[in-house]
Amino acid sequence: MRKLIVTTLALAFAAGTLFATGAAEAKDKKFISIGTGGPTGVYFIVGQSICRLVHKAAAEGRKTGRKHGIRCSAPSTGGSTYNIGQIREGELDFGVAQSDWQFHAYNGSSKFKGKAFKKLRAVFSVHPEPYHIIVGKNSGIKSWADLKGKRFNIGNPGSGQRGTTEVLMEKYGTKKSDFKIATELTSTEQSKALCDGKIDAYGYTVGVPNAGVSIATDGCGAKIINLMTSVEKGLVDANPFYAFATIPKGTYKTTDADVTTFGVMATFVTSADVAEKVVYEVARAVFENLDDFRKLHPAFKNLDPKLMIKNALSAPLHPGAVKYYKEKGWM
């Protein structure tokens, strides 16, 4: 009987120890979420890639004793302005956003007029994002003016492509009623709609190359048109977050010459409310594995850490990111 009691007590002690250890480990874990974009877009790949590197750092840390306990998810979302809004609400910890919408959100301009998000914090910038207008093979569209009377997808509400398209509409003096139809398709839907003949063109802000764009260009002969009028020049001259961009010849099957347009940068942002340790570990995971990151999409191949921590960042850097960058001697 005494032996049984001792065994029972030992089991109870062991179970209690395991429970305490498990509870401590669970307490140490932090689950973070990253807002991305449509599943065929580069933002989705950015978020998934960052999570992959965070998990890689966690696995390596378990071997070396340097544990950070962070677990990461990067679901498909509505895009730039949606991500910023959800970060503000505390529903997302991080998000990918166009540099122009980072600027507007922090400064309370454009769509964020009267709603400045002063707790928005930058972590780093990623890749350039030219604004594309992709037109159907037989649409006859060669310029913005030719979109009048056509079926044009302006993008889903909350997306960066919708925001940039609306900026152009305002500058060109174009109203929704000027289009035969102004659709609000997501980035996942628009290329199929173009190839199926349901729309004539769509606007899209995205890194190059892009799988969704190739569905239209390589799949049904769609083309990307030049945007290099005084309107685009005025936007670039007046706004630090815009720059002229080139989509190189040969990027897609129908890109038989360089396409000149303008664009923004993809940036990675968070909130001042996110813990310094968390942001530090995420930044560290990315930059300590930057060679791996560069291989995950062609748009990432030229990433330079010293440029990533300063280019196209309007909001202040998060202290957790600053801590890591100073450790690396980049600041």
Pairing mode of beta strands 223-224, 259-271: unpaired
pLDDT in tens, the chain (331 residues): 333 333 343 434 444 444 444 444 444 569 999 999 999 889 999 999 999 999 999 998 787 877 788 999 999 999 999 999 999 999 999 999 999 999 999 999 998 999 999 999 999 999 989 999 999 999 999 999 999 999 999 999 989 899 999 999 999 999 999 999 999 999 999 999 999 999 999 999 999 999 999 999 999 999 999 999 999 999 999 998 998 999 999 999 999 999 999 999 999 999 999 999 999 999 999 999 999 999 999 999 889 999 999 989 999 999 999 999 999 999 9
| Closest by Cα among 84, 131, 77 to 110 | 84
d(CA 232, CA 106): 23
Amino acid code (one letter) for 75: P
d(CA 196, CA 194): 5
Matching fold, domains 29-127+266-327 and 129-265: yes
Any idea which residue has 């909350």 for tokens?
158
pLDDT of residue 66: 78
- What residues pair up with 94 in beta bridges, in sequence order? 34, 270
d(CA 95, CA 268): 6
What class does CATH assign to 129-265? alpha beta
pLDDT of residue 60: 86
Looking at the domain that runs over 29-127+266-327, which CATH code has it been given? Answer: 3.40.190.10
Supply 4's token pair.
């049984």
What ranges do the domains of the chain cover? 29-127+266-327, 129-265
φ, ψ for residue 243 (rounded to 5)?
A: -155, 155
CA angle (288 as vertex; 59, 282 as ends), nearest 5? 70
Task: Identify whether the C-beta of residue 178 lies closer than 8 Å to the C-beta of residue 151.
Answer: no
Q: Three-state SS for 127?
A: strand
Task: Identify whether the C-beta of residue 32 lies closer than 8 Å to the C-beta of residue 94.
Answer: yes
Q: Three-state SS for 260?
A: strand
